[in-house]
């Protein structure tokens, strides 16, 4: 245990129920190297018993009721209420690995310029649906210094203070945007080879998958525009690539249908399906380092290509609302 360093665990959630109970139990069971621990649960106006569950575990319970809900608002409320030297951020639908905090703390101690440490986030039940089976691989990143973290990470509170925390105007992409501001000051975002959290995506329906991908598109558009004039314009290339790929897929699909009608033959449509499967298999092959499970890779390849369509829709919706002088509210998929 350290002599004086303190830790605050900030958990955000809305209507998490038993998922929150599992999360809090995992926090209590962690190997804690810090001298003091403060657990803070920030609730985004739940209609279930989430706040009372958090209180059962001795957590401080804060409630936020913003006009435009966003995870960034809850995270800011949590770390600003804390006085600890370090802050561990968790989502209420995660289960913390007992060794992560100690390993992340050791990484932070190795270099004063490391501001954020995160580990491996994986799905709790990847085989619950083909969507979770595919998206489980989206959590796998290369090790070492990275451009950004996700919602779960251990951070230095003084760096959070220096950059002003999360941007409360963002409904998605708040961690990458904040990490970009940290990196602009010379700080590092470190990904370590350590299990961090199990996540309960709870994604079982096509409509959920679509909305989640639309939210990704909104984040691409909003964050890339926000940082377009900075030295490192985050997601500018990713947003442009998405436009290009979506246009190719939709264009070829439309041409194949018109050709099939004109030729009175299904061959053009079959050729398009073959093309789509071929580029999906190529994506699967490129990501074979993530898993040896061939079926999981197949679903991931299909997801990697198809997601360009809802992501492009999310980008388009962002620009449409921006032109009308409106802002997108939180896009929920659970």
Query: Domain-by-domain residue ranges, the chain?
Result: 6-204, 206-334
Question: What separation, in Å, do the N-terminal and C-terminal C-alpha atoms of the chain show?
Answer: 39
**Each residue of 254-292: pLDDT tens digit?**
999 999 999 999 999 999 999 999 999 999 999 999 999
Mean pLDDT of the 222-226 span: 91
Phi/psi of residue 93, nearest 5 degrees: -100, 25
**pLDDT number for residue 3:** 59
Phi/psi of residue 329, nearest 5 degrees: -80, 175
Which are the contacts of 330, defined by CB distance < 8 A and separation ≥ 6? 68, 69, 70, 171
- 259-284 residues labelled b (16+ CB within 10 A) or e (exposed): ebeeeeeeebeeebeeebeebbeeeb
**pLDDT number for residue 2:** 56
Pairing of strands 114-123, 153-156: antiparallel
Angstrom CA distances, 117 to 90, 107, 131, 186, stand at 13, 7, 27, 15
Mean pLDDT of the 15-32 span: 93
Please give the full DSSP string across 208-271, using - where no structure is assigned: HHHHHHHHHHHHHHHHHHHTTTSSS-TTHHHHHHHHHHHHHHHHHHHHHHHHHHHHT-SHHHHH
The domain made up of 6-204 has a fold known as Spore Coat Polysaccharide Biosynthesis Protein SpsA; Chain A (3.90.550)
Joined together, the tokens standing for residue 76 give 């800011």
Cα separation, 298 vs 302, whole angstroms: 6
Least confident of 106-110, 233-237, 251-255, 266-270: 233-237
**pLDDT number for residue 102:** 96
pLDDT tier, 229 (very low <50, low <70, confident <90, very high otherwise): confident
Question: By the 8 A CB rule, do 176 and 150 touch?
Answer: no
**Helices 174-184 and 206-226, interaxial angle, to 10°?**
30
Per cent of the chain over pLDDT 90 is 84
Residue at token pair 């360093």: 5
């Amino acid at each position: 245990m350290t002599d004086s360093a303190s830790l605050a665990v900030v958990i955000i959630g809305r209507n998490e129920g038993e998922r929150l109970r599992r999360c809090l139990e995992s926090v209590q069971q962690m190997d804690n190297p810090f001298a003091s621990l403060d657990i803070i649960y920030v609730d985004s106006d739940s209609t279930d018993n989430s706040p009372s569950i958090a209180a059962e575990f001795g957590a401080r319970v804060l409630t936020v009721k913003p006009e435009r809900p966003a995870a960034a608002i809850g995270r800011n409320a949590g770390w600003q209420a804390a006085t600890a030297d370090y802050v561990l951020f968790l989502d209420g639908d995660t289960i913390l690995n007992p060794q992560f905090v100690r390993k992340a703390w050791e990484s932070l101690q190795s270099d004063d310029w490391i501001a954020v440490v995160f580990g491996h986030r994986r799905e709790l039940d990847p085989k619950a649906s083909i969507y979770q089976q595919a998206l489980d691989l989206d959590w796998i990143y290369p090790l070492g210094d990275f451009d950004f973290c996700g919602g779960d990470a251990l951070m230095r509170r003084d760096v959070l203070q220096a950059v002003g925390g999360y941007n409360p105007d963002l409904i998605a992409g708040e961690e990458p945007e904040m990490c970009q501001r940290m990196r602009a000051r010379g700080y590092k975002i470190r990904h370590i080879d350590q299990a961090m959290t199990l996540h309960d995506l709870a994604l079982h329906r096509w409509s959920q998958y679509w909305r989640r991908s639309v939210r990704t598109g909104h984040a691409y558009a909003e964050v890339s525009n926000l940082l377009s004039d900075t030295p490192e314009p985050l997601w500018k290339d990713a947003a442009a690539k998405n436009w290009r790929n979506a246009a190719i897929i939709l264009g070829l699909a439309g041409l194949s249908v018109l050709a099939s009608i004109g030729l009175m033959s299904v061959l053009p449509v079959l050729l398009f399906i073959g093309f789509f499967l071929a580029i999906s298999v190529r994506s699967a092959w490129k990501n074979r380092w993530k898993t040896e499970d061939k079926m999981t890779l197949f679903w991931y390849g299909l997801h990697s290509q198809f997601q360009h369509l809802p992501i492009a829709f999310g980008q388009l919706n962002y620009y449409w609302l921006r032109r009308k002088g409106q802002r997108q509210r939180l896009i929920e998929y659970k």
